[in-house]
Amino acid sequence: MLKVGSQLPEKTFSLLQDGEMKNPTTTDLFAGKKVAFFAVPGAFTPTCSAAHLPGYVALADQFQAKGVDSIICLSVNDAFVMDAWGKAQNAEHLVMLADGNAGFTTAAGMDMDTDAFGGVRSVRYSMLVDDGVVTALNVEAPGKFEVSDAETLLKAL
């Protein structure tokens, strides 16, 4: 499992950007950048849509004012779902990143098997990443939403 001081695993993601499919790597997204990153179990799910993503949308300008180069939201969904969810949540200032095969999530040790609900998904967490290295990490207990919110991560800056 990732921990403070861990280097992020090198993986390839999917991202729909301006109607075009992109496949950025970990290096593309994190090298030389300070990134606020959070992962959710699923796009369009209740807690993720009502609280988790909206907090980062609302505080995006405050993250940027503190030197964050990008805010990335990751889910084990496809890029089309992530793009639609971002548009539905007015998340134009965030990178809505798809980990469709859970490659990053599994390599990071942040996977959980939700069985019939959706198979392998990400646990709920947030982290600050500086040049590909985790500098702060907040992992939620199963079924909780207490430490991975935008306010908590903003305070870590």
Q: What local confidence, expressed as pLDDT, does residue 1 receive?
A: 92
Instruction: Please identify which residue in the block is written with the tokens 């007015």.
Output: 90
Residue type at position 2: L
Which pLDDT score is estimated for 14?
97
Q: According to the model, what pLDDT value does residue 38 have?
A: 98
Residue 48 is a catalytic residue: yes
- CATH node for 15-155: 3.40.30.10
Unique residue bearing structure tokens 């430490």: 147
Whole-angstrom CA distances from 99 to 40, 110, 140 are 11, 12, 19
Strand segments, DSSP code E, in 47-154 are 70-75, 95-98, 111-113, 120-122, 125-130, 133-139
Sheet (strand 34-40) strand order: 95-98, 70-75, 34-40, 125-130, 133-139
Residue by residue, pLDDT tens for the chain (157 residues) are: 999 999 999 999 999 999 999 999 999 999 999 999 999 999 999 999 999 999 999 999 999 999 999 999 999 999 999 999 999 999 999 999 999 999 999 999 999 988 776 778 999 999 999 999 999 999 999 989 999 999 999 999 9
**Assigned token pair, 156:** 């870590």
Contact call for residues 156 and 136 (beta carbons, < 8 A): yes
Query: 10 Å Cβ neighbour count for 92?
Result: 10
> How long a stretch of residues is the chain?
157
pTM above 0.85, yes or no: yes
Of 16, 29, 39, 48, catalytic: 48
Predicted confidence at residue 63, as pLDDT, reads 98
Contact call for residues 72 and 36 (beta carbons, < 8 A): yes
